[in-house]
Amino acid sequence: DQQVKQNSPSLSVQEGRISILNCDYTNSMFDYFLWYKKYPAEGPTFLISISSIKDKNEDGRFTVFLNKSAKHLSLHIVPSQPGDSAVYFCAASAWDTGRRALTFGSGTRLQVQP
Amino acid sequence: GAGVSQSPSNKVTEKGKDVELRCDPISGHTALYWYRQSLGQGLEFLIYFQGNSAPDKSGLPSDRFSAERTGGSVSTLTIQRTQQEDSAVYLCASRKGGGDHNEQFFGPGTRLTVL
């Protein structure tokens, strides 16, 4: 039972355009959401996060949107750059006695074409 | 060091052998996590430490898997009698803890191949 789903295994965009990566979740106890970026042979790198009390968080070229009623979040990258090419993982956590273990989606491979 | 380190970076072993994977978290981070990523899959939670205690072992896939953490710092994940399905990248992450929403910082992982 996948609690965090990334239904698009891959996405290709042109340099300078917007990249939109989507993520859906099923567990209503999740209250904190994160996006990680992963290059081959490296560990995931934290990108941006959002608490369930917000619906938007922005950091430079990266913006995360949260729609709690739809249990959906998205990551927007504007403008996309070739260096953004990587696998992006959506992750979620619940308070759950402070454990805060992350439940990850299966990832979306983003390719930004020069 | 500044980040989470893991060793070895690659481990090839024969089926039935025991392996030990090491994680050195960011200094001062009290929470430590082990995850694994099998081929084509997302990251799967294995175990969580707060300080030296492991309040949550729910993700360990079998009793062949165990982990310990000493001195509130270094952690080792041990897999006994390895099987081919144990082949995966094992990732360690640490978090400041104490607060509520601190992000987790990941190490580069150990790629385990069981022949």
For chain B, give the mean pLDDT.
Answer: 90
pLDDT tens digits, one per residue of A88-100? 999 998 877 566 7
CB < 8 Å to A41, chain B = 108
How many beta-carbon pairs under 8 angstroms link A with B? 61
Residue of B nearest to A50 (CA): B101
pLDDT tens digits, one per residue of B73-87? 999 999 999 999 999
Task: Give pLDDT, residue B98.
Answer: 61
pLDDT tens digits, one per residue of A28-48? 999 999 999 999 888 999 999
Residue of B33, B42, B50 with shortest CB distance to A89: B42
- Determine the number of helices (DSSP H) and then strands (DSSP E) in chain A: 0, 11
Q: Is B115 exposed, middle or buried (0-12, 13-18, 19+ CB in 10 A)?
A: exposed
Whether A101 and B56 lie within 8 Å, measured CB to CB: yes
Whether B101 and A32 lie within 8 Å, measured CB to CB: yes
Mean pLDDT computed over B31-44? 89
Query: Is pLDDT at B20 greater than 90 in this prediction?
Result: yes
Query: Is pLDDT at A11 greater than 80 in this prediction?
Result: yes
**Residue among B43, B46, B106 with most chain A CBs within 10 A, to mutate:** B43
Beta partners for B14? none
Confidence of residue B103 (pLDDT cuts 50, 70, 90): confident
Confidence of residue B100 (pLDDT cuts 50, 70, 90): low
**Residue among B41, B104, B113 with most chain A CBs within 10 A, to mutate:** B104
DSSP element (H, E) containing A75: strand A72-77
Pair B67, B48: CB distance under 8 Å: no
Residue A43's nearest CA partner among A93, A96, A104 is A104
pLDDT tens digits, one per residue of A46-81? 999 999 999 999 999 999 999 999 999 999 999 999
Whether A102 and B109 lie within 8 Å, measured CB to CB: no
